Every structure is written in structure tokens, then in C-alpha cells.
């Protein structure tokens, strides 16, 4: 039986603490157990735009919508991976929810601007769906090497990106990866510069390998709450604060 051990944490950045503003990041992660006992891991991370008055609420709506859609999909479709059409339908649902929330407050959807970083994996087959910045990194099970499955996409100008609330068709990138993986990381842009090489965008093995090790050694199946707490403390440490004042979200899952 294949299971995942995973943890997740989101912490407010210094700028939001100083200004007394809420956390702008959101996350959802869980595993779905199939009839044969094997598990599929699902995760979504969203980062509300700093320039959006309700970006944090937009991020929460994105994660809630995609999480609910994934749970519903696997309950009705056994363990079949979502299709690209499924992802587009769910993105439309998230956009509709945001539009409704904005309209009820006499606001516009761009006031809820947020990104989306999503991954679904059973270890053999991995689906990624991505709008904007943030990234997804996985470890090749056979080679034990780290690779970016989906990287950050910047906007037309420096320090800008794309959002699920952009007018017209959102800039959604969906991909399938059929290489076996045994570890998966999703994160918001608050830690990108510290874990990816700034010149090549390649993962820093010195970060990912040690961070995955406690989850590989854990005797817990599913969410490890103790490691999630340690992860939150690490993200909130001076090591990260001295490099960024943004919110930071990290999801780590290891397949065993």
C-alpha cells in the first residue's frame, strides 16, 4: 500500500505584520485513498495579490473551490486523474465564485486577484495546473534528483504576474508528468528566491533534500501535524524574514 506523509504551513510576511493586514496566502492539501489502498495526493496553493484589497479572500476561494472539486472528482470517478477540461471547468467555478463575492460588495474581481499552484499525484502520474507565480518541485524516484514541474510565470513588467481573475481567458498552464516521483513540494513566490537558483531556476538540492527527510522518516500516514508545526516555525524564522517580507506558504509531501 502506497501512502503519502505530508505537511503544510503558511505564515504572514513582515510587511503584513507591520501593516496589520491578514495573511494573503491560502492552501489546501489532502490524500484520497483508492479501493486498493493506494493514495493520491492533492494540493493547491494560492497567493493573493498584494495590490488587491481582498487578495487573501480570493486566494481562500481558489483553494476552497479547487479542493472541493478534487474531492468530488475522486469520489465519483474512483482514482482517475482529472482531465484538462476538468481543470478548466473548476477554474471557471472559482472565477464565478470570486465574481459573485465581488459583486455582493460592489467590488470588481481584480480586487480578489490571486494565483493558483495545483498538483495531483499518485507517484506514477502527476498533474500540474498553474496560474501565475509560485512553483512545483518534485524528486525523480529513480534518479533521486530534483526537478521543477511547473515554474513561476512573470507578467509583462518586472515583479508582476498573472492571476485567476485576469480578464478574458486566464493564463492557465496544465501539464501531465509520467515520471515516477517520491516527493512533491508546492510553494508561493514568498520563498522562490531562496529555494530556486536565480539564474537557472533549478532547485537547490541543499534545501529540498533535508526538508523532505523528516517526512520520509515520519511514521505518520497522511498529514503530520507535528512536522507541519515545525515547518511553520521554520518559515517564520529570521532565515526567511531577512530575505523577503512577503507571506510564505510551503506544502511538502513524501510517498512511502
pLDDT at residue 216 tops 80: yes
Residue 18 is predicted with a pLDDT of 62
pLDDT at residue 70 tops 90: yes
At 22-37, the pLDDT tens digits run 788 999 999 999 888 8
Q: Which residue stretches of the chain are H helix?
A: 14-19, 55-76, 84-103, 192-195, 205-217, 225-235, 238-241
In a 3-state reduction of DSSP, which class is residue 74?
helix
Residue 23 is predicted with a pLDDT of 87
One-character DSSP codes across 231-247: HHHHHTSHHHHTT--S-
Going from N- to C-terminal start, the domains of the chain cover 4-255
DSSP 79: T
Residue 77 is predicted with a pLDDT of 66
At 153-198, the pLDDT tens digits run 987 666 789 999 999 999 999 999 999 999 999 999 989 888 999 8
The set of residues, in sequence order, having a beta carbon less than 8 Å from that of 104 and lying 6+ positions away, is none
pLDDT at residue 235 tops 90: yes
**CATH number of the structural domain 4-255:** 3.60.40.10
- What is the pLDDT confidence band of residue 111, given thresholds at 50, 70 and 90? very high
- What is the pLDDT confidence band of residue 15, given thresholds at 50, 70 and 90? low
pLDDT at residue 248 tops 90: yes
**Mean pLDDT over all residues of the chain?**
93
- Whether 88 and 127 have beta carbons less than 8 Å apart is answered as no
Amino acid at each position: 500500500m502506497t501512502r503519502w506523509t505530508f505537511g503544510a504551513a503558511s505564515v504572514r510576511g513582515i510587511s503584513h505584520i507591520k501593516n496589520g493586514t491578514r495573511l494573503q496566502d491560502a492552501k489546501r492539501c489532502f490524500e484520497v485513498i483508492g479501493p486498493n489502498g493506494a493514495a493520491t495526493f492533492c494540493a493547491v496553493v494560492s497567493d493573493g495579490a498584494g495590490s488587491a484589497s481582498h487578495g487573501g479572500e480570493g486566494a481562500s476561494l481558489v483553494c476552497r473551490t479547487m479542493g472541493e472539486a478534487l474531492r468530488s472528482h475522486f469520489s465519483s470517478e474512483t482514482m482517475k486523474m482529472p482531465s484538462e477540461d476538468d481543470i478548466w471547468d473548476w477554474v471557471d467555478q472559482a472565477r464565478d465564485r470570486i465574481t459573485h463575492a465581488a459583486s455582493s460588495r460592489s467590488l470588481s474581481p481584480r480586487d480578489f486577484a490571486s494565483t493558483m499552484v495545483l498538483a495531483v499525484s499518485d507517484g506514477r502520474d502527476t498533474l500540474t495546473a498553474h496560474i501565475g507565480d509560485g512553483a512545483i518541485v518534485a524528486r525523480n524516484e529513480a534518479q533521486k534528483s530534483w526537478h521543477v514541474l511547473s515554474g513561476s510565470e512573470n507578467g509583462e513588467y518586472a515583479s508582476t504576474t498573472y492571476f485567476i481573475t485576469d480578464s478574458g481567458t486566464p493564463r492557465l498552464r496544465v501539464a501531465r508528468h509520467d515520471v515516477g516521483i517520491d516527493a512533491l513540494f508546492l510553494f508561493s513566490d514568498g520563498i522562490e528566491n531562496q529555494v530556486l537558483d536565480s539564474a537557472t531556476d533549478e532547485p537547490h538540492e541543499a534545501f529540498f533534500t533535508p526538508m523532505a527527510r523528516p517526512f520520509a522518516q515520519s511514521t505518520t500516514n497522511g498529514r503530520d501535524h507535528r512536522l507541519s508545526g515545525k515547518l511553520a516555525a521554520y518559515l517564520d524564522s529570521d532565515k526567511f524574514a531577512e530575505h523577503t517580507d512577503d507571506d510564505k506558504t510551503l506544502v511538502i509531501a513524501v510517498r512511502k
